[in-house]
Structure 1
Amino acid sequence: MKNWLKNYRWHIISWATFIIYEYVLVSLILKINAPILDYCIHYIINITLFYIHAELVLGKGLKPQKPVYLSIIVLTVFEVFLHTVFAYLADRSLSKTATFSVGKLTITDWKYMFVTVWRGIYFLLFSTAYYFIKSYIHQKQRTVELEKEAIEEVLKQKQITLELANAKNAYLKAQINPHFLFNTLTYIYNSTHKSEPRAAEAVRYLSKLMRYALECEHGPEIMPLEAEIRQVENLLLLSRIKQPDLFIDFNYDQKTESTEVMPLLLLSLTENMVKHGNLSQPEDPGKIIVKLQQGLFSIQTSNLINTGLNDTGFHTGLENIRQRLLHTYAEKAELSAGQKGKYFEVLITINLAGDTQ
């Protein structure tokens, strides 16, 4: 009810003002008095005619796609006829001066009919003006909205252009900075491989991992898994230089090497295991199993939970993997992770059935 009053408050105010104006004009100036009930019934008929003509006849007949002018004319004539009939019947029921004499209309009836028809046309003209004013306001509001959308689109395109320019600059910088970095790593390796062979090997493995990560960043969305398997082996070798008592069983089917999947998936899971898992027990090592069976590719990891280490960032890493899987594979990929007894297990499955591998 409150919403209705809010939406139509100006209609109510306008009709109240108009009715008061006509009542004052008729009763005080023209000295014509009538019962309040007469006014109420006739204004109900007139206001009903007003909205039927504006909302239904003109609203439906003047649609932008296919206006039907002939139908509007016919319906308008019919509206005037119905208005006259209802007004006449209302006055008859209220015992007005209009009379009916055995099949013939008296002079009083003809005069009454003329006034009633003119009254109906009078409200139809008001209704037509209301319809076109409302259409104009609606069209103006729509034009303002379209202009606003166009401005927002221009601003959006400018923002995209600016971001693209920034991305190109960042890409050019990224090409320069790694070049300097790899030259530096090569220098460190050459300087230390005789005096500190373990440190030199660590630099060599680190260089390979970084080069692969950069290639993946600017490469395709899916790549053969073979290169990443090699990098997982490099990561394990690098980790064992820093932590000799690190035990992980890495098993994969040979046919998975040619499988094309999202890069940095296997490497990210391995890195999280090394960083957060307890991999110091040779009798209970961490496990990485990569399989491809009937088009279903899977990576499964399992490791002892390291209760003495803060795992901050681990679940963030898994969430990043989940979002990347969703972006690349949508509902074809699933990731489940959680604690099972004293182990933390992660399982990723990707349905590659029908994909080229």
Structure 2
Amino acid sequence: MALVQFIKKHRVVFSHVGVWLGFLTLWALTIVHDGTKPENIFKMLVTFMPAAYTFYGSNFIFFRFLPKRKVATFVIAEILFFISCFVVISLEIFVLQPIAYGTEIGIPTTVTPWVEILMNEALWMYLILSTLSLGYYHLRQSLKRARELKISQKLKLEAEKGKLEAEYAFLRAQINPHFLHNTLNFFYAKSLGHSEELSDGILTLCNIMRYSLESDEDENGTVLLMKEVEHLWNVIKINQLRFSNRLQIDFQIRGELEGVRIIPLVLITLVENAFKHGELSNKEYPIRFVLEVNEEDFTFSAFNKKRKGPKETSHGIGLDNTRKRLAAAYPEKHTLTVQDEEDFYTISLSIKLAQSKYKYTPKSIEAAQPF
């Protein structure tokens, strides 16, 4: 398996090596078939060495300097490379060829042979093979862009699929959500003046329903972090009302949330997971949620002591779906870590925030839960 991964990672190198080995093998078989002496293989290698050097040297320069768009550096590199091509082909003509053919090595002492090699051999070889190398460079870049576009489209489709699955899973847990939302509004109006706690609970549930039905997403599929936090507070508040405010919950917010945007229905999954598996009434180990925003990223962590016995039923979208959505929306820009110990469970999410996508001020705030 490791060997297969290595070959896939360096498939371009292996493809080049394979082509050259195949070519040299065919040439060697031809030489043997013709009855030519085996040492001619060395002559063949000597003949092709300058061409291979020019082609792959041009490749190196194109791939190294063209993407950076530094014209001066590229021109200097090309000049130095042309000089090196002249040196290589001179070495091949005056040293290696005499060795291969058994003739005497002779270095010209006049200028004319060097000028002829420069103009008739080195320059033409450089122009032709550099042109071929440039075409190969653009072909590779085109294939790379096509792969990147395919990956980008795949990630976008996965993000859309995850979003639809999240919305469907959330709405599937509700019976005719629009009807239920309107009915809750009716109950809220009727409960006013009879029970403040009842009307408050109905209003909170209405807000939860409204958040699930009304989308404030932008073109990137993100919502304001402040709206996500309000949704978390409402879910926690409705659970407190269910258990007569006996739940031990510590919710801390640090930093400035204004303008920060994230994909929706991610943090609620971590909160629901804590409610489902956590000990809810232990004063010594309360469920703790910490959200912190700084100039570079924001983190959200949930800590809970594991509950013994039956667990709370959850209608959330699940951690697996959340991982897929995060991978699609924030590739290589997020971390989701889990510490699953015998008695305690901690999950932490960190997302890198692009500076241009949110408004941040140096002022820092620290708030506790409003319940």
- Greater relative contact order (CA < 8 Å, ≥ 6 in sequence): 2
Q: How would you bin the TM-score normalised by the shorter chain?
A: 0.3 to 0.5
TM-score by length of 2: 0.44
Whichever of the two has the greater Rg, that structure is: 1
